[in-house]
Amino acid sequence: MQLDEFYSTDGERFFFSREQASRFAKHIAGDFNPIHDPDSKRFCVPGDLVFALVLARYGLCRHMAFRFTSMVDDQARLALVETAPGQLSVQDQNGKECLGVTCEGEKIGNAEQIAELTRRYVEFSGQTFPHILVPLMQARQVMINPQRPMVIYHSMIIDLDTPEFRDPELKMTETRLDVEGKRGHARLCFELHDGDRLIGRGEKNMILSGLRPYDQAGIDHLIGEHTRHKAAYVG
């Protein structure tokens, strides 16, 4: 996966235009969340785009944990800083962190392996709504606000058993939604396979805000808006 068309540089820093971020979300991740639209008043860069650029610039380790600490907009000029051995921080021009990364184990520098693993994860991650979140919300009889849906990318983990792989594939193993008041924590666990070999595992965590009682009409509205949004882009 080539990332050059999805970011720009300003000296040692990198940044994302609204058009670049939106194109990545829709074309690469298949993510049609309106918050990534260029004209969105609440615009933010997809977390998976920041994640992908970290892997492309730093490399891949056997164990990596990513924690998103703030949203990124098109005004942020970012730098990847190694704050301590095995600790990375993506910070804007004011020193505010948007992503913290913990790295352990053997480092994998093969660009083709990194690009393929990144592509497979981003494709998996971008399909969260409606395929995964709607059944979880239905099971817990809660839902996000259909007029102002808020799902925040919280963290993700990748654990590799081996640096030797060619064609990684992600397979979902568990989905879970824990609810506390109007806040939910969605956890998506997956395994990494290369052919018939299990090569690792990982998880993605999201925070759902403004939860309310489940309403099928509201869910149908959300899914309908998502479908129309996707159809308008695909043409």
Annotate 86-109 with DSSP letters as a single string: TEEEEE-TTS-EEEEEEEEEEEE-
Tell me: the pLDDT tens digits for 47-79? 999 999 999 999 999 999 999 999 999 999 999
| DSSP secondary structure letter of residue 5 | G
pLDDT average, residue stretch 146-170:
94
**Measured between alpha carbons, how far apart are the two ends of the chain, in Å?**
24
Please tell me the chain's helix, strand, coil percentages from 3-state DSSP, rounded to the nearest 5: 30, 40, 30
Per the listing, tokens 């999805």 go with 6
- Find out whether 78 and 90 touch, Cβ atoms under 8 Å: yes
What pLDDT does 148 receive?
87
**Percent of the chain scored above 90 by pLDDT?**
90
Confidence of residue 235 (pLDDT cuts 50, 70, 90): low
**Domains present along the chain, CATH in parentheses:** 4-234 (2.40.160)
Which tens digit of pLDDT belongs to each residue from 106-136? Answer: 999 899 999 999 999 999 998 899 999 999 9
Does the structure show a pLDDT above 80 at 234?
no
Instruction: Name the pLDDT band for 214 (thresholds 50, 70, 90).
Output: very high
User: Environment class of residue 100 by beta-carbon count within 10 Å: exposed (0-12), middle (13-18) or buried (19+)?
Assistant: middle
